[in-house]
Structure 1
Amino acid sequence: MGTKNPFKDQSHSLTKKILPWALYALLPLALLRLYFYPLPQFKALPGEAPQNKPNIITSSSSQEGESFNEIPCDYTNGKWVRDKAGPLYNGSSCGTIKDGQNCISHGRPDMGYLYWRWQPKQCKLPRFKPATFFQLIKNKHLAFVGDSMARNQLESLLCLLATASSPELVYHGDDNKFRRWYFPPYNVSVSIYWSPFLVKGIEKSNSGPNHNRLYLNSVDERWASDMGQMDMIVLSVGHWFLHPAVYFEEDSVLGCHYCPGLNYTEIGFYSVLRKAIQTTLEAITEKRGNKAIHVIVTTFSPSHFEGDWDKAAACPKKKPFEEGEKLLEGMDAEIRSLEVEEVEAAKAKATQFSGLRLETLDITKLSLMRPDGHPGPYMYPFPFANGVTERVQNDCVHWCLPGPIDTWNEIMLEVMKRWEAQARRGG
């Protein structure tokens, strides 16, 4: 008789006891794996890596019959984190940057401001993909309308797109205030329309009154007259409303802002800015006719002056504020809130109009947290070439290019992808 192998019997017994418990332990792990990393349900856009996490808005080419997976993300809350990759372009790779925002060519010595990315709390913000943008805007005209912040955002977008296709300047007029570029491979036009109030206004001048004149019941026809050519409009205003102004509705004076000696009632500017946005969004709704049009309102971009504008350290910060270090409050919060409120009110009305989409590009908080991203004294070339002076003009309002403002266009692209996803499902 052969002898039994005790290790074989023991192994068999242990297997019967351990196997059920192992299965019980693996089951929740498998469920967690599927929850955080679900199986792909779509293909990525051309030139874009597939995204499988559920908190990223993704879209795909309609020409290939691919599906969409649309999951909204709140991009307004988050923090700036270090990013070794850096920007997609540099100060010399695109010829559209206004000199005052080309901080690299003007000799800004610290480059740390280029290596940060915005990280929302509950999702990921993908890097800008020019191929994706061109696909969504192909055969269309995108118009930026507003003040110098609109121009700043436009130039950021042109530089991002220039990494894939060179823009051709096809129209240039009135001291760079009205320009249009064309991307032949995609039949895409991108324009800038100078309109610092959106409504009809007469800007103050050195030879005339030292205050602006705003007509709040009339939209500015310098851009509105071209609305029939526009497929997408990005509106951006705010800073010009802080200047002295007299306000009109029809032919009656409503009041003024900071107008001593004119014998008008001081009414501030908050209600006026609100009315200007109302008039603008109503005009777009009325004037567009049956044309499909998409509208984005970029919220107020805070400035970061610390003391006098002409001191060497007017905006001295070299890195972003940490989360909670700087609160959104005061004027920045007030302007941002009224802009969001008016867009939401217009969105509620827009549901009855086919082809009209509106959205807020809420960049106020994430911009507030980037005091390091302004040109400062480098709005002029090499301001300290002859030594550090006590007085030097600073720009703590606009943004260096490349810089934090590129994030605005990354978020705008995500809005466009969500719109496309909604359109694909008939929403």
Structure 2
Amino acid sequence: MGKPQNQTKIIRKLTPCVLYTLIPLALLHYYTYISPHCYNQIAHKRLEKTADSDSITPPVQGKAAELKNQPRCDYSDGHWVQTTAKPLYNGTSCGTIKWAQNCMVNGRPDTGYLYWQWQPEDNRCPAPLFDASVFLEIIKNKHIAFIGDSLARNQVESLICLLSTASKPELVYQGGDDLKFRRWVFYEYNVTLSSLWSQYLVKGTDRNQSEGIDHNTLYLDTPNEKWASELDKIDIVVFHNGHWFVQKAIYYGEGNQLLGCNFAQEINCTDYNIFDAFRKVLRTSLKEVTKRFYKSDKTVVVATFTLAHFEGEWKFGTCLKTEPNKEGDAEMPHLENEMRKLAIEEVARAVKDVKEMNGWLRIEALDVTKLTFLRPDGHPGPYMFPNPFANGIKEGVPNDCVHWCMPGPIDTWNAILLELMKRWKDE
């Protein structure tokens, strides 16, 4: 009988201690527990409150806060300096290069155009150098698409070659005339790159001279469905266009209302210049992305107009320079300068629209107009075909003074894109 009595005494002594322990825990649970019903009410109130604030993103701290308040690094202005650094790839190490831009394989004899580095005038900006592993790490598990004309394709092919130095891509889709739609996957990083052809960005039809139609037809308020239908699958969009707007075109606006044309003197049509048309196309394209993704972790990049360097007539003119232009060697043409200006303005407008909608979609310009203006030596010229002078110098040899040799100055566009991406990551 003595043993149960001892147990009873022990229990009586321990009971106050247990109660003193359990009571604070119960109170802590009472004050910190939120029922599912209450949680939903609180979450709803938070959303209501943040919807009225300037931004619903969490406040940035430390380095990110400092970066957010600093002026962005300006890569648009600078000069080219000679370097001894070799290109990261060559004409045979990458199978992605379009044959017409494979200048080395096509027999271009000089190599000096490969050894120039873009040096920004902004002393806060480091010279942009490409690092394939860093690029892939930043866009890990993402899909980046280059949408536009052949300059978009030129840049995505450059990027594929650069990234191939760190990881091997697999071409998983190709279609359209002249391989206008392609998709690659870097399985090691779960990164997808796409090239989507849309030379106007909006709905349009090309001229058909065999049917007596010598003008393009553009619907300036209607995005091209070929890229618009893909947006949900894309995380980073890079828009490229502009060169096709120098061609004859008839323009339609909202509700298929005729706006005019850019060759009014030839037909009974109201004059509508290419600058107005180009601005409207950029605005339509940016609005399409903005209205759908203003509150998403996506990015839109607009590449500015790039320079052609024909000396003489289009196609049969030449671009035989072997060194970059120096400041003052030539004056920026009005058309190219105006097209660049319009792109910068429309990007700024879109950024403002996102901010007014309390969104955080990133929109930025990839300003490559000046750095391309200074590189007349970077085009394939006659080396868009293999060994064009193998049988002697001929008159009327076609020249490509629009696109860019690979490797060549176009690789710098992707180096600057990487610098922008590193900034986004830090912010």
Q: TM-score, normalised by structure 1?
A: 0.80
Partners in 1 of 2:266 and 2:402 — Cα distance?
29
CA displacement 1:349-374 (0-9 Å, x = unmatched)? 11234340000000000110000000
Residue equivalent to 2:391: 386
Q: Give the structure 2 partner of residue 104 of structure 1.
A: 104
Gaps of 5+ in 2: 1-61
In 1, Cα distance between equivalents of 2:303 and 2:197: 15
Q: Structure 2 matches for 1:335-374, cutoff 5 A? A: 335-351=339-355, 352-374=357-379
Q: 1:217 aligns to what SS in structure 2? A: strand
Instruction: Find the counterpart in structure 2 of residue 166 from structure 1.
Output: 168
Unaligned runs of 5+ in 1: 1-65, 423-427
- In 2, Cα distance between equivalents of 1:257 and 1:198: 18
Amino acid at match of 1:328: M
Show the counterpart of 1:47.
none
1:206-254 deviations in Å (ceiling 9; x for gaps): 4342211100111111010010000000000000011111000122211
Structure 2 match to 1:254: 259
353-362 or 394-403: bigger deviation: 353-362
Q: Is the 8 A contact 2:307 2:373 kept in 1?
A: yes
What secondary structure, in the 3-state scheme, does the structure 2 residue paired with 1:285 have?
helix
Shift of 1:289: 7.0
> Residue 330 of structure 2 aligns with which residue?
326
- Provide the alpha-carbon RMSD of the alignment: 1.7
Match status 1:278 vs 2:280:
no
**Other structure's SS at 2:188 match:** helix
* Native 8 Å contact 2:171 2:182 kept in 1: yes
In structure 2, the residue matched to 1:140 is 142
Structural mapping, 1:114-133, within 5 Å: 114-121=114-121, 122=123, 123-133=125-135
1:65-105 C-alpha deviation (Å, 9 max, x unpaired):
x9768463211111101011121110111111111111011
The answer to whether the 8 A contact 1:227-1:288 is kept is no
Q: Return the offset for 1:135.
A: 1.0
| 1:48-67 matches, cutoff 5 A | none
Q: Secondary structure at the match of 1:80?
A: strand
Judging by fraction of residues, say which structure has more helix.
2
Task: Report if the CA contact (8 A) 1:211-1:259 is conserved.
Answer: no
Q: What corresponds to 1:201 in structure 2?
A: 204
Kept in 2: contact 1:245–1:256 (CA 8 A)? yes
The answer as to whether partners of 2:351 and 2:363 remain within 8 angstroms in 1 is: yes
1:304 aligns with 2:306: no
Name the residue aligned to 2:195.
192
Q: Give the aligned partner of residue 413 of structure 1.
A: 418
SS of match in other structure, 2:283: helix
Q: Distance in 1 between matches of 2:113 and 2:166?
A: 24
Within 2, Cα distance between the matches of 1:333 and 1:261?
27
Partner of residue 25, structure 1: none
**Cα–Cα, structure 1 residues 391 and 310, in superposed 2: closer, same or farther, change >3 Å?**
farther
User: Structure 2-normalised TM-score?
Assistant: 0.80
**Counterpart among 372, 378, 381 of residue 376 in structure 1:** 381
Aligned partner letter, 2:246: L
Tell me how far apart the structure 2 counterparts of residues 310 and 226 of structure 1 sit (CA, whole Å): 34
CA distance in 2, matches of 1:322, 1:289: 41
Q: CA deviation at 1:324?
A: 2.6
Q: Percent identity?
A: 51
Equivalent-residue separation in structure 2 for 1:234 and 1:168 (angstroms): 21
Change (3 A) 1:362 1:310: closer
Amino acid at match of 2:174: H
